[in-house]
Amino acid sequence: MLAASLAFVTMTALVKIVRSELSGFEVVLWRGVISTPLLFVLARGQSLRIQNRRAFAWRLLFGFSAMVGYAVAARGLSLVDLNLIGKLRPVIIAIAAPLVLGRRERAGTGEWLILAIGFAGCALLIGPNLAVGSLYGLWALFSVVFSAGAHIALRKLGATDAARVIVFWFHGGVAALAALGILVTHGGFRLPSPSLWPALAGVALAATAGQLLMTRAYALDKATVVAAASYAGPVWSLIGDLLIFGLVPTAWAIAGGALVIGSSLWLVLRRQEPVTPSAV
């Protein structure tokens, strides 16, 4: 999951570049167009049949909603702000996973306090944006909630399906849903300008690597612990903001991010028992 966090931050930096021309739906579509054939090659020799179709349907719907929200938010937020808001995901998962997957996924007592701390940090992060009339923070929060649902579905899928097969169908599925979204909102398709194709290819490759690493991680350990391991994301984001975009985090981002990351780390420290890896 630590490696997946680096891959996703790389993807986000490239998404910020392509969002100068493309809509959120278009970013998701072209990402899938590039990555799906690659994933088909990687899954060659394995059965492409999804065993748990219900869990995959939830993974697809939640994941697609999260991706579109994330692509929209990426246009108006820095890498650090995006990832710090994203650190609220482990807290949401800590509450929801035991309800969906059973008591074995419990992180321990006190999750409601952790949730309150995480939301307080998130409020500090998105508050300044709302004060100046920007809704990008709310789009990021929307993305995180749906992303948490997608991660829980991944934990369920990890017990029955191979990571490469899950990611192959996921990328193909989100590309199809994005195409439908483009037809509804734009009435037709347009090719990206030639200058954007290298960045789009990078988005697809980084997303593929991140999805494969994340899916494998959820097959090996409980959802709460794996999700909390993504706390390394803001570190990668800070480096990316400084090196690529020349951005320095604000005092609001530091204060809110400290609360959100702190609540995530609390979940890791509260882990009580080892978990037997699921078969993949």
Host domain of residue 185: 2-269
Report if residue 194 sits inside a domain.
yes
Q: What is the pLDDT of residue 212?
A: 86
The percent of residues in the chain predicted with pLDDT above 70, rounded, is 79
Report if residue 245 sits inside a domain.
yes
Q: What is the pLDDT of residue 201?
A: 93
Q: Provide the number of structural domains found in the chain.
A: 1
pLDDT of 185 > 70? The answer is yes
Round to the nearest angstrom and report the end-to-end CA distance of the chain.
17
Tens of pLDDT along 158-174? Answer: 788 888 888 899 989 99
Report if residue 278 sits inside a domain.
no
Report if residue 168 sits inside a domain.
yes
Report if residue 171 sits inside a domain.
yes
Report if residue 279 sits inside a domain.
no
Tens of pLDDT along 202-225? Answer: 999 998 898 888 888 877 777 666
Amino acid symbol at 39: L
Q: What is the pLDDT of residue 280?
A: 34
